Amino acid sequence: MHPRARRLTVLAIPALAAAGVMLPAAHGAAATVTGTVTQSAAAGPRPAVHEAADTATEQRTVRKFWTVARMEAAEPLDAPGTGDRQFAAAGSTTGSAGSAPAGASAARPATVAPTLTAATGTAAATARVSSRTSGSSWTAGGTVAKTTGRVFFTVTAGSDAGRNASCSGTAVTSANKSVVITAGHCVKLNGAFHANWVFVPGYDQGNRPNGTWPATTLLTTAQWNSGENMNYDVAAAVVAPQGGKSLTDVVGGQGVAFNQPRGRQTFAFGYPAGGPYDGSRLVYCSGRTFDDYLSSRDQGLSCGMTGGASGGPWFLDFSESTGGGLLNSVNSFKYNFASYWMFGPYFGPEAEAVYNTAQNAALT
């Protein structure tokens, strides 16, 4: 990350190999899924794993902590007053603007063939975008309205330590039926994992129609864990069952796709809480992605969502009629000089390793 960067929310990238796709299970489906995962030829480094509320007593305490008042007061983390980049809900940065983030190779994998070109030193200033919306309320319901939710947590390190904040996340199809995908800075920031972490699927103007789900385990990429490398701003949470049911038994789960071609039509969702939004409603953007040629290896999308949208899903093959799709990135960051663009990480072996470790985690 860069010193002149501000946070917003989302990210990741690898060396491409075989395409891997997990298809979505039907709402309330059994543990088996309706598709298979093709593993990448080269596995990424082992994800960082952190125990959260892993006892019944801790889970009760966390649920009680998140009163209506605390959720309404939670905000995206403060961003520095100056900078070229901002995250959708985070605070500290590293590196230097205009160069590749620490630990990232400046060269893209040869197998990644950009389908859109950047315009003279600016990230896809002339990118072609079809069926575009830059930040509208989602009113069509469907699977996405149940599987997407707000994430709440307490920051434990840095200048925002002790502050209650919010991000976004998504319930996905998984072997243990309990996995939420979000951004790395939505689980760990300033070298420390967040506390009091919960997922509220289907959050709507303060209502929690599908409950409040405390995390038992938080996971992120090795690169985000060790140096908060923006190219790997990806995370997952395993949440505890409630009332004898697992998360996707209650809300269903979206599919997840890895190692996919770039430059595809994409729908992004989240709960932006920075003005002009207030975090009360699910918002979406749509268009064709383009490569960031400035200082990351992320993909960009024309999108006006603000802080709090961090960690919200990017879908391929999204159906506006059913609200289902294949999660293929998350909201991660924006450049201050281009608030109309949102950037998200490429889902390769590192993101896949986080997902696979999460879906095979034991429930407590």
Give all domains of the chain, ordered by start, each with its CATH number.
20-27+40-94+117-359 (2.40.10.120)
Structure tokens that stand for 38 in this block:
């093709």
For residues 9 and 308, is the Cβ–Cβ distance under 8 A?
A: yes
pLDDT computed for residue 28 by the predictor:
34
pLDDT computed for residue 83 by the predictor:
46
CA distance 321 to 31: 25
Which residues, in sequence order, are CB contacts of 65 under 8 Å at separation 6+?
Answer: 196
Which residues, in sequence order, are CB contacts of 272 under 8 Å at separation 6+?
Answer: 88, 135, 279, 283, 305, 306, 307, 308, 309
For residues 159 and 136, is the Cβ–Cβ distance under 8 A?
A: no
pTM score, whole prediction: 0.79
pLDDT computed for residue 364 by the predictor:
75
Taking 50 as the pLDDT cut, the residues of the chain under it are: 1-42, 79-83, 89-131
Structure tokens that stand for 108 in this block:
């893209």
pLDDT computed for residue 159 by the predictor:
87
CA distance 235 to 151: 12
pLDDT computed for residue 339 by the predictor:
86
Which residues, in sequence order, are CB contacts of 245 under 8 Å at separation 6+?
Answer: none
Q: Which of 364, 266, 251, 333 is nearest to 83 (CA)?
A: 333
pLDDT computed for residue 122 by the predictor:
27
pLDDT computed for residue 338 by the predictor:
85
Helix (H) or strand (E) holding 48: strand 48-51
CA distance 198 to 42: 32
Question: Which tens digits make up the pLDDT trace of 205-258?
Answer: 999 999 999 999 999 999 999 989 889 999 999 999 999 999 999 999 999 999
Question: Which tens digits make up the pLDDT trace of 128-174?
Answer: 333 456 789 999 999 999 999 999 999 999 988 999 999 999 999 99
